[in-house]
A and B are shown apart, each in its own frame.
Chain A
Amino acid sequence: MTIYTAARHRAAEPRPRVTATRTRPPGRGTAGRRRPVNAAAGIAASVWLVIVAVPLYYIALTSLRTSDSYLTDGALTPPSGLTLENYRQVVDLGFDTFIFNSTIVTVITMVLVLLMALPAAYAIVFGGTRAVRATFNTFLLGLAIPAQAVIIPIYLLITRLHLYDSLTAIILPTAAFSLPMAIVVLTSTLRDIPRELFDAMTVDGAGTVELFRRLVLPLSRPGLVSVGIFSGLNAWNGFIFPLVLTQSEARRVIPLGLWNFQSRFGTDVPGLLAAVVLSTVPVLALYLFGRRQLLRSLSAGYGR
């Protein structure tokens, strides 16, 4: 009742947003809601904007500079002539191989994670036997075990399996370490499937495979997209497993390739930053076309 009067009271003032919110269906259109503008937050936002924009501007600009211009002009001064020479040079140095390797690692990791995590989440949400619950708890415990902590035994395992210096060596542990988060996100997606739907279908005689195919698979789409993006980014940007488990240039992935550029051509910063831009292009494209989905995927599972 209080809330209602508050809205009525407001309606007299020139604040149309309040009435607009009232007519909106619940759960949608949070953007239109009126919230107090916090001055401190506004200042923090402006400062942050500069802090983010300057390095990004620097990356883009320097990657188009000539080496001479980099050495003589200031870091942020716009150069007289821009060149794509750095990009050509980076590709000549084998960056296309790194992009190819990273793509293979990313795609296979994503597929592996999705293939394993969805059935597991299905069993956790709709099965609930003791073994399944124990599995779920194990995955929860795995959430914060840093990869660095088990890198030595994984190195031992990979060398004993004769997988050292192969893309498989990167894919297997990367996928395994994406699993806990993937399962947490998918279980929370599947929990939103109405129980009655599941019960009705079992009563109608649907078996577990049919339930999975006709109920779980179609309704878990948003969760699958989130997990795909999340595990894909992990694989694309992963550093520790390639660092320890591969060696040769033919098996190098992008993050290691960047580091290698830096240590080999220390002062060729324009070349390095051109490589940085190239390594981000696929993710940037994804961001431009599906910003909301991408951001939701990154925070999936953490938000309450």
Chain B
Amino acid sequence: MSERGLLNPRREVRTVVLVQASQLRPARRERPGFLWAAPAAVFFTIFGIVPIAVVLYLSFTTWNGLGTPEWTGTTNWRALPEDTDALHSIWVTAKLTIFCWLIQTPLSLLLGVWAAGPQRNRAILSTLFFLPLLLSTAAIALTWLSLLDPNFGLAASLGSYVGVPDGNFLGDDSRALYAVAAVISWQFVPFHTLLYQAAARQIPVAMYEVAEMDGARTMRQFISITLPQLRNTIIASSVLVVVGSLTYFESILLLTNGGPGTATRVLPLHMYVKGFVGFDMGYASVLAVLLVAVGTALSVLIVRSTGYHRMNSDREGM
């Protein structure tokens, strides 16, 4: 009864006031309109959306970066299938993406689950774990460049233990891509570990308790509870690894500059070389259009796999 306000005069008064307020000033019940989003929208349009249209336009022109772009029709596009370096760079990008996924996903999954657990020294150790996150790509690439130096670096002394007596990792055709993948993974595993740690902490403990009562061992619990519960995180993290592979350009520029030869030249680096080293901006734009296409497709994937587009609160039902 009291909930209805009959025995609660204060509540009833309040209800009346609310009704009156809304009737007296209906015009003021407004919601924030587009104007609030306008600065961000305009800014992102200028630097994010318009450039996509412009890069498409530039791909039909010839431009050396200084003068005015001149329309040349489909010349640049017809040059694409003949550019063996471009096809090779797409292949290198794909291989690098796969290597990075194979290293990062199992490792960060295990580390994340471990970091979510009850170990005694976990807090101190995980402080160390995440330190690579703080270093810039340039700092990490240059540090590893000196660590992998075949003359003075760690590679010189440890190389012989892993079957590389000359310690030459980055300068060798067959090893350079693995070395690059390893450095990139060193940089990004902590980030993915964070994602898995956060997700593993949300798995209800009761599930493990029940499983243990039923006699399930640790391994069985990991396979039957942890992995299925982390399914969405595995998808999200994997998508981010793939997306990230489009931006590895910087590490590779500093580590190997695409070499030796073109052994580590990924698509973004190939584009950079064509555009800003060879000053063939028109053809470089063709490669950029390919990047945009892949990037947009991946954005759609991220949105699908993380549920950003949902308009309700994540906290509900937690």
B309 A120 Cβ-Cβ under 8 A: no
Cβ-closest chain A residue relative to B119: A37
Name A208's contact: one of B36, B69, B154, B306 (CB within 8 Å).
B36
Give the chain B neighbours of A283 by CB distance below 8 A.
134
What is the CA–CA distance of A154 and B285 in the complex, to the nearest angstrom? 12
Name A146's contact: one of B50, B65, B291 (CB within 8 Å).
B291
A272 B146 Cβ-Cβ under 8 A: yes
Give the chain B neighbours of A183 by CB distance below 8 A.
40
B156 A75 Cβ-Cβ under 8 A: yes
A259 B306 Cβ-Cβ under 8 A: no
Nearest Cβ in chain A — how far from B18, in angstroms? 6
What is the CA–CA distance of A56 and B157 in the complex, to the nearest angstrom? 18
A259 B138 Cβ-Cβ under 8 A: yes
Segment among B5-13, B41-49, B71-79, B81-89 that sits at the interface with chain A: B41-49
Give the chain A neighbours of B249 by CB distance below 8 A.
148, 240
| Interface presence of B178 (CB below 8 A) | no
B131 A56 Cβ-Cβ under 8 A: yes
Interface 1/0s, chain A 270-283, versus B by CB < 8 A? 00110010011001
| Interface presence of B308 (CB below 8 A) | yes
Asked if A203 meets B21 with Cβ closer than 8 Å, knowing A44-B114, A157-B51, A177-B47, the reply is yes
Give the chain B neighbours of A51 by CB distance below 8 A.
186
Give the chain A neighbours of B127 by CB distance below 8 A.
291
Interface 1/0s, chain B 293-313, versus A by CB < 8 A? 001101110110011110111
B47 A154 Cβ-Cβ under 8 A: yes
What is the CA–CA distance of A150 and B39 in the complex, to the nearest angstrom? 21
Segment among A83-91, A168-176, A217-225 that sits at the interface with chain B: A168-176
Cβ-closest chain A residue relative to B285: A152
Give the chain A neighbours of B146 by CB distance below 8 A.
62, 269, 272-273
Nearest Cβ in chain B — how far from A101, in angstroms? 14
Nearest Cβ in chain B — how far from A180, in angstroms? 7
Give the chain A neighbours of B250 by CB distance below 8 A.
239-240
B311 A191 Cβ-Cβ under 8 A: yes
Give the chain A neighbours of B313 by CB distance below 8 A.
188, 191-192
Name A55's contact: one of B37, B41, B144, B213 (CB within 8 Å).
B144
Give the chain B neighbours of A111 by CB distance below 8 A.
none
Cβ-closest chain B residue relative to A236: B136
Binding site for A on B (CB under 8 A): 18, 21-22, 25, 28-37, 39-41, 43-52, 54-55, 58, 65, 69, 107, 110-111, 113-119, 125, 127-139, 142-147, 149, 152-154, 156-157, 186, 189-191, 194-195, 198-202, 205-206, 208-210, 212-213, 218-219, 221-222, 232-233, 236-237, 240, 243, 246-247, 249-250, 254, 268, 271-272, 275-276, 281, 284-285, 288-289, 291-292, 295-296, 298-300, 302-303, 306-309, 311-315, 318
- In the assembled complex, 30 residue pairs joining A and B whose CB atoms fall closer than 8 Å, in A order, are A3-B206, A9-B213, A21-B205, A41-B111, A49-B125, A52-B128, A55-B147, A58-B147, A59-B143, A115-B39, A126-B32, A127-B37, A137-B309, A139-B44, A144-B302, A145-B48, A148-B272, A150-B288, A153-B58, A155-B65, A156-B58, A179-B44, A202-B29, A204-B18, A204-B21, A208-B32, A208-B36, A237-B137, A255-B139, A299-B198
5 extra interchain contacts, Cβ-Cβ under 8 A, other than A157-B50, A304-B307?
A45-B125, A62-B146, A144-B295, A203-B29, A258-B139
Binding site for B on A (CB under 8 A): 2-3, 6-7, 9-10, 17-18, 21, 27, 30-42, 44-45, 48-49, 51-56, 58-59, 62, 70-71, 74-76, 115-117, 119-120, 122-129, 131-132, 135, 137-157, 172-173, 175-177, 179-180, 183-184, 188, 191-192, 200, 202-208, 211-212, 236-237, 239-240, 244, 254-256, 258-259, 262, 267, 269, 272-273, 276, 279-280, 283-284, 287, 291, 295, 298-299, 301-304
In the A-B complex, the 7 residue pairs with the closest CB atoms? A176-B47, A237-B136, A149-B291, A153-B51, A41-B114, A153-B54, A123-B36
